[in-house]
Every structure is written in structure tokens, then in C-alpha cells.
């Protein structure tokens, strides 16, 4: 599979599988299906409750642990040096593994009342740096950190993040943040790369899907890849999982990429690290 190279030299697959709300009640089967479809990078978080399903599906696959890339995240209530260590050990246990490929802080603030979030982030990062030095984690990351949150870590720590995860899809590209991470050589990963289906009704996306003989979902995923952003699509059927991986097999012209970059806003999840969550219908 095509890959992205991280700033510490590690290569990871160009598309990962998202496991948030991955088919409750049949999660091991879903992950097994994703492995069958060809996914080797799995995005999870202690918050998702899917870590143990990944462990089980990997075990059942009969493939070696080294063939997989597992990314997990530290939840808001586990931030702080000591708390992070305990939470990380729990994550290792859930995943039944000696090491994790990517470990991230899930959100920069546990809640909006925490005015000391900068100190808290630095303390938390210090624990992550120790896991990295002990080779328990191969790359460190930040999730939902805007440039000024990330700058606080970068200016006050030894180890540079290798990965950052943000909501990113056509019509919501957070371009200032994208450019910031590009400049720092930190790989941006797209969560909700298909805007949870919202893109399927957009006239430009429909036009391009017809033009390239692909689906709206494939346009979104291919757009991410051509922007140098790694998408983390979630899907429930083997057909969709395979179709999403096929986004690696075609190319969108530069002009059409520019049209997507400049399309009108398409809506977003309503989740922002510095705001109360908006409920968006
Ligand atoms: N860091 C964070 O805070 C954060 C936040 C949100 C998400 N994430 C990560 O990003 C991953 C993906 O995000 P997401 O699940 O919110 O959004 P998404 O991947 O953009 O959308 C998932 C939706 O798209 C549908 N879908 C998948 N493939 C399709 C296809 N080929 N054609 C049409 N529809 C298709 C899925 O339906 P079916 O499932 O029915 O197939 C599902 O309803 C998550 O699983 C998680 O790992 C991270």
C-alpha cells in the first residue's frame, strides 16, 4: 500500500481504518473484515471502547503484530503525568501488545474551565515522551490541537509530534491548521474524511464522482491523499471498506483539487476544542 513517511522516519499506510462507533455488538467482526479488506492501520482511542476488539481481531488474523499499525489516544479525564502512565498501561493491556505505533493526546483541554490546560498538556506530553524513549510508542501525536495548542507543546518539549489529527474533509479543511502542520512536517490525519456522509449531496462532489467514475466517498478520500493528509474512514461493509481503499487507485486533476479546496463550507461535526459542542442536525 502507498505510505506516508513520518518526521521520525517511520512509514505508515496512506489510509487507516477508523473504529469510532465501529458497529457496536460486532466490533471484532468489523475489524476482521477491515483486515480482510487490506487495512493494516487502525485508529482507536480508550474512549471508543474498541481497543480490545482490535487486539482480538489481530490475534484471530494469524498475522504478526509487526504487520499492523495501531494508534490510540489518551482521554480527557486521564490527562496529567501520573494519570497518563496509568491510562497508557491500560491501553497496552486492552490492545494486548508491548508497544503502540502512535499514541496521541485526544483533546488539548479536558474541559473549558481548565485555565491551566497549557501546563497540563506539557505534563501529559512528558509522560508520552517517556513512552517514546522506552520504545513503547513509535510515534507521538496530537488530536484536535489547533496551531496554538500544538505550539505550546512544541516550544516546551523535547520530542516533536509526528502526527496530528483534525476534522478534515471537502468543505471543511481547516486550512490555517493544515498549513501549520505542513510547515512543521507533522502528518495531518483526517477524521470524518467523508463528513459522515454529508458530502454525498454536494453538487461539485457529485459532478467529480461522475467525471472520475468513482463514488463521492472516494473523491473525499482521494482529496485527502493528494493534500498529503491521511484519511481514517470508517465503514461497516466489506464492499465499502474495499471501495474506500480503492481511493488509492485514481488521481484527481490539479484543477479539480483546487475546485474542491475552494468550494463553499459544507458543515462540520460541531466539535471544537475551545467551544461547547454544537449540536448540528
Ligand atoms: N480524533 C477525534 O476526535 C476523532 C473524532 C471523530 C472521528 N475520529 C476518527 O475518524 C474516524 C472516521 O470518522 P467518522 O466515522 O466520524 O466519519 P467518516 O469516516 O467520514 O464517515 C463514516 C460514515 O460514512 C459511511 N461510509 C463509509 N464508507 C462509505 C462509502 N464508501 N460510501 C458511502 N458511505 C460510506 C459510514 O457508513 P457505514 O459505517 O454504515 O458503512 C459512516 O456512516 C473515526 O472512526 C475515528 O477513528 C476521530
| Segment 37-62, tens digit of pLDDT | 999 999 999 999 999 999 999 999 99
For residue 276, tell me if it sits in a domain. no
- What does the pLDDT average to over 161-185? 98
For residue 7, tell me if it sits in a domain. no
For residue 245, tell me if it sits in a domain. yes
Work out the pLDDT band at 1, boundaries 50, 70, 90.
confident
For residue 270, tell me if it sits in a domain. no
Return the closest-CA partner of residue 40 out of 66, 6, 4, 78: 66
User: Using CA atoms, how far apart are residues 74 and 86, in angstroms rounded to an integer?
Assistant: 10
Contact 127, 81 (CB under 8 A): yes
Nearest CA, atom 23, ligand 1: 196
Q: Which 3-state string (H, E, C) describes 197-250? A: HHHHHCHHHHHHHHHHCCCHHHHHHHHHHHCCCEECCCCCCHHHHHHHHHHHHC
For residue 8, tell me if it sits in a domain. no
pLDDT higher than 80, residue 247: yes
Q: Is the beta carbon of 189 within 6 A of some atom in ligand 1?
A: no
pLDDT higher than 80, residue 281: no
For residue 183, tell me if it sits in a domain. yes
pLDDT higher than 80, residue 25: no
For residue 267, tell me if it sits in a domain. no
DSSP assignment of 65-92 equals: GGG-EEEEEE-GGG-SHHHHHHHHHHHH
180 in catalytic set: no
Work out the pLDDT band at 17, boundaries 50, 70, 90.
very high
Q: Domain range for residue 119? A: 13-261
pTM reported for the whole predicted model: 0.98
User: Using CA atoms, how far apart are residues 48 and 122, in angstroms rounded to an integer?
Assistant: 24
For position 111, which CATH number holds? 3.20.20.100
Stated length of the chain: 281
Residues paired with residue 143 on neighbouring β-strands, in sequence order: 165
Structurally, how many domains does the chain consist of? 1
Q: What is the pLDDT of residue 113?
A: 94
For residue 5, tell me if it sits in a domain. no
Q: Is the beta carbon of 43 within 6 A of some atom in ligand 1?
A: yes
pLDDT higher than 80, residue 23: no
User: Using CA atoms, how far apart are residues 95 and 73, in angstroms rounded to an integer?
Assistant: 12
Catalytic residue among 41, 48, 132, 181: 48
Amino acid at each position: 500500500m502507498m505510505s506516508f513517511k513520518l518526521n521520525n522516519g517511520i512509514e505508515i499506510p496512506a489510509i487507516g481504518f477508523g473504529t469510532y462507533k465501529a458497529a457496536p455488538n460486532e466490533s471484532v467482526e468489523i475489524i476482521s473484515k477491515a483486515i480482510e479488506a487490506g487495512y493494516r492501520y487502525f485508529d482507536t482511542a480508550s474512549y471508543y471502547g474498541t481497543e480490545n476488539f482490535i487486539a482480538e481481531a489481530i490475534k484471530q488474523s494469524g498475522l504478526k503484530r509487526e504487520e499492523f499499525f495501531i494508534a490510540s489516544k489518551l482521554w480527557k479525564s486521564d490527562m496529567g503525568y501520573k494519570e497518563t502512565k496509568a491510562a497508557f498501561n491500560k491501553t497496552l493491556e486492552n490492545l494486548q501488545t508491548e508497544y503502540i505505533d502512535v499514541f496521541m493526546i485526544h483533546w488539548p483541554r479536558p474541559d473549558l474551565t481548565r485555565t491551566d490546560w497549557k501546563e497540563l498538556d506539557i505534563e501529559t506530553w512528558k509522560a508520552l515522551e517517556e513512552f517514546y524513549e522506552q520504545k513503547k510508542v513509535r510515534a507521538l501525536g496530537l488530536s484536535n490541537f489547533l496551531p496554538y495548542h500544538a505550539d505550546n507543546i512544541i516550544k516546551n518539549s523535547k520530542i516533536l509530534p509526528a502526527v496530528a489529527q483534525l476534522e478534515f474533509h471537502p468543505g471543511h479543511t481547516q486550512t490555517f491548521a493544515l498549513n501549520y502542520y505542513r510547515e512543521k512536517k507533522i502528518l495531518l490525519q483526517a477524521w470524518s474524511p467523508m463528513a459522515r456522509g454529508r458530502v454525498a449531496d454536494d453538487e461539485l462532489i457529485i459532478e467529480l464522482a461522475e467525471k472520475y467514475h468513482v463514488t463521492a466517498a472516494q473523491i473525499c478520500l482521494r482529496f485527502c491523499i493528494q493534500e498529503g493528509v491521511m484519511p481514517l474512514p470508517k465503514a461497516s461493509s466489506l464492499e465499502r471498506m474495499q471501495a474506500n481503499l480503492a481511493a488509492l487507485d485514481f488521481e484527481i486533476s490539479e484543477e479539480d483539487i483546487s475546485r474542491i479546496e475552494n468550494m463553499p463550507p459544507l458543515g462540520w461535526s460541531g466539535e471544537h476544542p475551545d467551544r461547547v459542542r454544537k449540536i448540528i442536525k
